Structure 1
Amino acid sequence: MPELDAHLPFESAAMPVTGMAADYVDGHFIAPHTHRRAQFLYATSGVMVIETAAGRWVVPPTRGVWLLANVPHTVRMRGVVNMKTLFVNPDAAPGLPTTDCVLDVSPLLRELILAASILPLAYVADSRDGRLMRFLLDELRALPVLPFHLPWPTDPRLNRVCTHLAAHPDDPATVGDWATTLAMSSKTFHRQFQQHTGITFGRWRQQARLLLSLEQLAQGDKILHVALQHGYSSQSAYSAMFKRHFGVSPSDFYR
């Protein structure tokens, strides 16, 4: 696949950190693939939806996702995505993330990533370019992990529930409704859902609705329309929950 072949020089370069840039149209899908190095994906515009066997990450501007080496994943673009990618050796610096996660991107790190994405692959370690990359690694290690991950259950029955809710986030079915559908008690449903995802069903659905709504916001949909399509009774109810979770209102999120 040509777009994956484009990564190969950056993954096989001699230097411990390399950066590249690529632009994608709305809806573009990158099929399942892996990388031999850890990867940090960051978009200056648009939203990236990254999926692995362990779950889904929704990554808006001002955030980036760290994926460990050899993790199979897909990437789907929502809105026009200007992507910057770093490929990092696991031993490039101590204290780098040891799990897949979404990280905050400070204004300083953003500028470092933009600079790294246009550096030559064969930069000299003891040079301005080399020092810039070391500074970038220092910033990566200092970033806070953010709650943009949606864990996905491997149990086929619970997977069916989550797949349905991802396609129909406004579905108001209760735990009791789902327990009946799956021929189990509500108590068993609660216990198994938390066992397979690490969080309660109520929290999972709330997080799913908020993260899925980011994709529509990235495409310019009106906030009221997004709120109603994701199970909220009003724009104000959606905005209040959105601000509680992300710290800003939906209208301010992409500024």
Structure 2
Amino acid sequence: MYLPPPTESGDTPVCSADPTSGLPVSGVAVRYAGGHVVPMHKHAHGHLIYADRGLLRVESASGQWLVPPTAAVWLRPHVEHRLVVPVALQAHGLFMREDTCARLPAFDGVMHVSGLLRELILGLTNNRSPPRSERYQELLGALLAEELCAQPRLPFHLPWPADDASGTIHRVCQALLQAPGDTATATDWASRLAMGDKTFHRRFLQATGMTFGKWRQQLRLMSSLTLLMKGMPITQVALASGYESHSAYATAFRKQFGEPPSAFVANTE
């Protein structure tokens, strides 16, 4: 198994195993129970992860990605990551050989899944018996690589602070992660940390690559996706996420994700 299931003790083994078929693209499908966590592991191959339902969370040292059923996350070879499974789902893992990776995106990110790409993913992770010929699988893999490259990158990524020697910005981000609706301003945080406003803004931008306001907005919107997927009414989601009204939240949501919250929910059901 390349996406390791729980052991008999209930723990999930760290898995750095890669496919051994030698095909340019190979895959596997694994069912997970809700609340399951696959701990940090990595692969020598490029890795594409797609889930048929729920909102899969993929975490790495550089940040986290949320993956709705309309998308998949692409990770380059050797990227350490863990999976957090919110609801029972089937995860589809595809592994790309090094020569195939050379044609694929040179970044880690969440990609849109078109209807064709979805069918290719399912076709390559179908544990069919007897299996299709290698030539057939090679053709599917080649088409999948082309289709993946044609997909737009989606804004479902929250970067984590890097090169923050003192850990100050890391602590700020961790606090906000625990309370996305927190309303403290950048000035409030600077005061708590006994530093000037300009210093705080500069250090935050250096550590995350985003301004404080933009990072917090991204955190709030991404956190709200989990609440939406749990069936919470949109107005309650808006207030819990730090927005003053349904309309303010819907406007920010549409600007970031290209559709209103109601459409996102409808498209992921």
Pairwise same-fold verdict (TM > 0.5): yes
The percentage of counterpart residues that share the same residue type is 43
Matched residue SS, 2:261: coil
Q: Residues 2-41 of structure 1: matches in 2 within 5 Å?
A: 2-3=5-6, 11-41=19-49
Decide whether aligned partners of structure 1 residues 243 and 79 sit closer, same or farther in structure 2, where only a CA change above 3 A counts: farther
Deviations 1:166-199 (A, max 9, x none): 1101100000111111111110111111111111
Between the aligned partners of 2:14 and 2:140, the Cα distance in structure 1 is 23
Does structure 1 conserve the Cα–Cα contact (< 8 Å) formed by 2:18 and 2:44? no
From 130, 155, 159, the equivalent of 2:138 is 130
How far is the alpha carbon of 1:6 from its aligned partner? 11
- Structure 2 unaligned residues grouped into runs of 5+: 7-11
Does structure 2 conserve the Cα–Cα contact (< 8 Å) formed by 1:15 and 1:122? no
From 96, 106, 128, the equivalent of 2:104 is 96
State the partner residue of 1:161: 172
Between the aligned partners of 1:198 and 1:54, the Cα distance in structure 2 is 11
Between the aligned partners of 1:24 and 1:5, the Cα distance in structure 2 is 14
Greater mean alpha carbon deviation, residues 165-174 or residues 98-107:
98-107
Decide whether aligned partners of structure 1 residues 7 and 227 sit closer, same or farther in structure 2, where only a CA change above 3 A counts: same
Mapped pair 1:152 → 2:160? yes
* Corresponding letter in the other structure for 2:109: C
State the partner residue of 2:93: 85
Does structure 2 conserve the Cα–Cα contact (< 8 Å) formed by 1:123 and 1:130? no
Q: Residues 104-253 of structure 1: matches in 2 within 5 Å?
A: 104-118=112-126, 124-126=133-135, 128-154=136-162, 155=164, 156-253=167-264
Matched residue SS, 1:252: helix
Between the aligned partners of 2:17 and 2:172, the Cα distance in structure 1 is 41
* Corresponding letter in the other structure for 1:168: A
How far is the alpha carbon of 1:125 from its aligned partner? 4.0
* Corresponding letter in the other structure for 2:111: L
* Corresponding letter in the other structure for 1:130: E
Matched residue SS, 2:69: coil
* Corresponding letter in the other structure for 2:160: W
Give the TM-score normalised by structure 1.
0.92
Decide whether aligned partners of structure 1 residues 81 and 225 sit closer, same or farther in structure 2, where only a CA change above 3 A counts: farther
Give the TM-score normalised by structure 2.
0.87
Decide whether aligned partners of structure 1 residues 6 and 231 sit closer, same or farther in structure 2, where only a CA change above 3 A counts: closer
Decide whether aligned partners of structure 1 residues 25 and 218 sit closer, same or farther in structure 2, where only a CA change above 3 A counts: farther
- Structure 1 unaligned residues grouped into runs of 5+: none
Q: How many residues align?
A: 254
* Corresponding letter in the other structure for 1:179: A
Deviations 1:121-151 (A, max 9, x none): 975443x332122111111122222221111
Does structure 1 conserve the Cα–Cα contact (< 8 Å) formed by 2:221 and 2:253? yes
Between the aligned partners of 2:138 and 2:14, the Cα distance in structure 1 is 23
State the partner residue of 2:9: none
Runs of at least 4 residues off by over 6 Å: 4-9
State the partner residue of 2:83: 75
